[in-house]
């Protein structure tokens, strides 16, 4: 749980004094050369929330004013890291405090903020937003100060976007250069598309966003929820072994859980996006999973899959800087010194293999937790992990490093060699410990993986059409609480089309009574073991429950090959064995899933319009949320 304690706001007071001295110097100049009195003295000394962040505290002395006797005196102003705001930031404040029109009860600044928030919430593009502003301006009394250009809006907001976009060649992943006509070219001599004008769908758009600014904005919005111990359930991440062992009550701590996954963006051009998200553990659930409370670290938009080293390089460097040095944020003019940590990295199995540089989930030695190698099943043409052949000796971080180095030595430009399932050194290991911080996502493993496979087996070989219709009727007639909107629109025959929330409801709540009534006793009792184990790991009330769930899951995995056939013993079933240990370290499955991140992927994809610069569009609107 977060324990925020404000330190002495020396930087705040320092900036106030500097602004006061600057105003005095401006008054002197204006009084010397302009007899018109200035009204700047009546300004409050409040801080501007949109000032750039302060990185380090400078030891420079406060601004010095020479004797005003000479008319040629210059302002002896020393700009430093503490006072890195715009020179006219207080003038912007004065302008924004003006009313929208004469006699208006709302200020120009408030009106623009509300409009931009509306544009952002309803995914309105810039062109439509400008047209809407022009219509609104017609209905306002004249004269009014409502801007009708995007440049005018950003001037009133007093800031610019902090996101950074790099355009890469999709063939060689080298940075593109602009020609004098504005087109993008690849100048890499070894690239197959050298010096060719590149179309937008053949360019990789790599976007990085400012982490500190997003964190400060999120904490500011949720400040009333900080330090509220009663809001954290006992099954939450903050009560897991890993978080408790790393916690330090003397510091304000921000802990990130990081997620990466891909999603189609434009079907016609086959473009997809790969956002790298982070959620803040110190926010209580489910607040931390709200879309506006998830930090977008970086974004890859392209037709090709990301190269993990290229995609995450700048993000990991920024996270390392924050982890090693910390930072300061300001909430209501109070300074908080923040230390950063990482909790875990979560993704589905294909993305985990890509970013951890391990063998894919359908290969040998695919398990990230243990040394089980798997064996080839010729009958079903698949690699299986029989329970009796498992080698549950835990992997270690150093073993991964050694295997990755050996694999790198043996690999060639044409062929990648894996050693114990490791194909290379992942950049993620600079901020995560392997394998304790590389966890399984039960949304993909259970809800989108094993459950659809299990239901498919029932429908193909166990139950007849009339039983399927009876089960479909029972699911259709479910009367759920008003806050559980999970209709079963597809038949059991199409369980592969069910959403994750349908499978979650089935395995945790409604599945047991349905299968007890309609399935043979052997299959029903076997599924009951699975449902009980998942339900206890979902929100365990004690260590004893976790131990019992582990025993039930082990027995389920051990007997699955006997109840069905050996083809069920693939890696996705084997991974269930390690869920209990994951719950001990990081908390219940209810709080360590990718449900919130997957919802956020759909949320940000709606912010892209058209077919060009989609990643830049998304990052631009996400960045506006921090204002």
Residue 177 has a pLDDT of 87
In a domain, 213, yes or no: yes
Dihedral angle at the C-alpha atoms of 401, 405, 411, 413, nearest 10 degrees?
A: 100
Q: Which domain holds residue 493?
A: 440-591
pLDDT over 80 (residue 164): yes
Predicted local distance difference test score (pLDDT) of residue 65: 27
Length of the chain as a residue count: 627
Same domain, 183 and 59: no
Please check whether residues 55 and 140 belong to one and the same domain: yes
For residue 23, name the pLDDT band (cuts at 50, 70, 90).
low
**Among residues 133, 157, 181, which one ends one of the domains?**
157
| Mutual angle of helices 211-221 and 308-325, in 10-degree steps | 60
Cβ(439)–Cβ(586) under 8 Å? yes
My answer on whether 520 and 470 are in the same domain is yes
Q: What HEC string does 113-141 produce?
A: HHHHHHHHHCCCCHHHHHHHHHHHHHHCC
Instruction: List pLDDT tens digits, range 253-304.
Output: 999 999 999 998 877 678 899 999 999 999 999 999 999 999 999 999 999 9
Alpha carbons 581 and 60: distance in angstroms, whole number: 52
3-state secondary structure 340-353: EEEEEEEECHHHHH
123 and 186, same domain (yes or no): no
With respect to residue 412, please indicate whether it lies within any of the assigned structural domains. Answer: no
pLDDT of residue 160: 77
Task: Report, as an integer, the average pLDDT of 510-514.
Answer: 94
Please enumerate in sequence order all residues whose Cβ is within 8 A of that of 97, keeping only pairs 6 or more positions apart, or say none.
107, 109
Same domain, 455 and 573: yes
In this structure, the answer to whether residues 613 and 495 fall within a common structural domain is no
The answer to whether position 383 is within a domain reads no
Q: What CA–CA distance (Å, rounded) separates 65 from 569?
A: 78
Looking at residue 7, its pLDDT comes to: 54
Residues 541 and 612 in one domain: no
Whether residue 182 is found in the same domain as residue 84? no
| Res 59 pLDDT > 60 | no
pLDDT band at 26 (very low <50, low <70, confident <90, very high): low
In a shared domain, residues 184 and 147: no
- DSSP-derived letter for residue 176 is P
Under the banding of pLDDT at 50, 70 and 90, the label for residue 610 is confident
Whether residues 512 and 534 fall in one domain: yes
Cβ neighbours of residue 319 closer than 8 Å, sequence gap 6 or more: 211, 256, 297, 340, 342, 431
Please tell me whether residues 569 and 611 are part of one structural domain.
no
Q: Which of 57-71, 148-162, 510-524, 608-622 has the highest mean pLDDT?
A: 510-524
pLDDT at 233 over 90: yes
What is the average pLDDT across 416-437? Answer: 93
DSSP 570: S
Are residues 147 and 185 both part of a single domain?
no
Per-residue pLDDT band at 161 (split at 50, 70, 90): confident
The 10s digit of each residue's pLDDT in 452-483 is: 999 999 999 888 999 999 999 999 999 999 88
Q: What is the mean pLDDT of the chain?
A: 85
Mean pLDDT of 427-444: 95
Q: Per-residue confidence at 86, pLDDT binned at 50, 70, 90? A: very low
Spatial CA neighbour of 586 closest among 534, 546, 627? 546
More confident residue, 178 or 49: 178
Spatial contact of 590 and 538, defined as CB atoms under 8 Å apart? yes
Residue 290 lies in a domain: yes
Mean pLDDT of 395-413: 91
Please tell me whether the peptide bond between 435 and the residue prior to it is cis, using omega within 30 degrees of 0. Answer: yes
Asked if the structure places residue 255 within a domain, the reply is yes
Residue 599 domain-assigned?
no
Give residue 85's pLDDT band: very low, low, confident or very high (50, 70, 90).
Answer: very low
Of 330 and 66, the structure prediction assigns the larger pLDDT to 330
Residue 96 inside a domain? The answer is yes
Residue 78's pLDDT band (boundaries 50, 70, 90)? very low
pLDDT at residue 376, rounded to an integer: 95
- In a domain? residue 514: yes
Q: Rounded mean pLDDT of 562-589? A: 96
Q: Which of 157, 191, 214 marks a domain boundary? A: 157
Torsion, Cα 302 303 309 315, to 10 degrees, reads 20
pLDDT of residue 1: 52
Q: Containing H/E element for 205? A: strand 203-208
Domain closes at, from 157, 173, 191: 157
Q: Tell me what pLDDT residue 27 has.
A: 60
Domain count, the chain: 3
Across 5-9, 339-343, 374-378, 524-528, least confident range:
5-9
Pairing mode, strands 438-440 and 334-347: parallel
Report the pLDDT value the prediction gives residue 62, as an integer from 0 to 100: 32
Q: How far is CA 299 from the centre of its chain?
A: 10
């Amino acid at each position: 749980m977060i324990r925020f304690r404000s330190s002495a706001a020396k930087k705040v007071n320092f900036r106030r004094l500097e602004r006061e001295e600057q105003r005095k110097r401006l008054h002197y100049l204006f009084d010397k050369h302009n007899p018109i009195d200035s009204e700047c003295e009546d300004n409050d000394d409040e801080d501007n929330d949109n000032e750039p962040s302060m990185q380090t505290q400078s030891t420079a002395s406060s601004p010095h004013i020479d004797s005003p006797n000479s008319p040629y005196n210059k302002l002896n102003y020393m700009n430093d890291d503490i006072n890195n705001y715009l020179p006219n930031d207080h003038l912007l404040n004065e302008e924004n405090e003006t009313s929208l029109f004469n006699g208006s009860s709302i200020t120009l600044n408030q009106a623009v903020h509300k409009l931009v928030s509306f544009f952002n919430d309803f995914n309105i593009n810039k062109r439509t937003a400008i047209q809407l502003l022009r219509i609104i301006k017609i209905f306002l009394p004249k004269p009014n100060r409502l801007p009708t250009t995007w440049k005018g809006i950003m001037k009133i907001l007093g800031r610019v976007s902090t996101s950074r976009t790099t355009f890469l060649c999709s063939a060689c992943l080298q940075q593109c250069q602009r020609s004098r006509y504005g087109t993008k070219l690849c100048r890499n001599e070894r690239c197959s598309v050298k010096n060719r004008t590149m179309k937008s769908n053949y360019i990789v758009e790599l976007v990085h966003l400012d982490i500190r600014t997003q964190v400060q904005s999120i904490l500011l919005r949720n400040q009333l929820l900080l330090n509220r111990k009663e809001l954290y359930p006992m099954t939450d991440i903050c009560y897991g072994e890993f978080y408790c062992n790393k916690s330090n009550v003397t510091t304000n701590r921000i802990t990130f859980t990081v997620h990466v996954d891909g999603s189609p963006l434009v079907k016609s051009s086959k473009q997809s996006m790969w956002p790298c998200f982070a959620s803040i553990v110190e926010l209580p659930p489910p607040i931390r999973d709200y879309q506006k409370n998830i930090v977008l670290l970086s974004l890859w938009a392209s037709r090709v899959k990301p190269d993990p080293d290229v995609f995450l390089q700048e993000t990991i460097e920024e996270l390392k800087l924050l982890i090693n040095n910390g930072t300061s944020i300001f909430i209501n003019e109070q300074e908080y010194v923040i230390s950063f940590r990482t909790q875990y990295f979560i993704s589905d199995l294909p993305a985990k293999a890509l970013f951890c540089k391990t063998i894919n989930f359908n290969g040998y030695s695919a398990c990230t937790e243990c040394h089980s190698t798997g064996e080839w099943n010729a009958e079903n043409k698949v690699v299986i992990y029989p329970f009796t052949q498992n080698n549950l000796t835990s992997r270690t971080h150093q073993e991964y490093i050694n295997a990755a180095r050996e694999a790198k030595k043996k690999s060639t430009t044409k062929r990648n060699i894996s050693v114990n399932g490791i194909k290379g050194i992942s950049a993620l290991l600079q901020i995560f410990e392997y394998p304790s911080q590389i966890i399984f996502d039960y949304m993909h493993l259970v809800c989108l993986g094993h459950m659809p496979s299990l239901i498919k087996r029932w429908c193909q070989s166990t139950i007849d059409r009339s039983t399927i219709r009876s089960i479909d009727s029972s699911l259709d007639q479910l009367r759920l609480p008003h806050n559980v909107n999970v209709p079963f629109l597809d038949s059991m025959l199409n369980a592969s089309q069910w959403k994750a929330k349908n499978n979650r409801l089935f395995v945790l709540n409604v599945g047991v009574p349905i299968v007890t009534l309609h399935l043979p006793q052997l299959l029903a009792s076997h599924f009951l073991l699975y449902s009980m184990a998942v339900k206890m790991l979902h929100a365990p009330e004690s260590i004893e429950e976790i131990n019992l769930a582990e025993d039930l899951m082990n027995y389920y995995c051990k007997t699955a090959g006997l109840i069905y056939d050996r083809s069920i013993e693939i890696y996705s079933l084997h991974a269930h064995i390690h869920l209990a240990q994951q719950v001990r370290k990081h908390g219940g499955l209810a709080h360590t899933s990718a449900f919130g991140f997957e919802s956020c992927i759909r949320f940000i994809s709606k912010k892209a319009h058209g077919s060009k610069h989609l990643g830049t569009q998304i990052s631009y609107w996400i960045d506006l949320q921090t204002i």
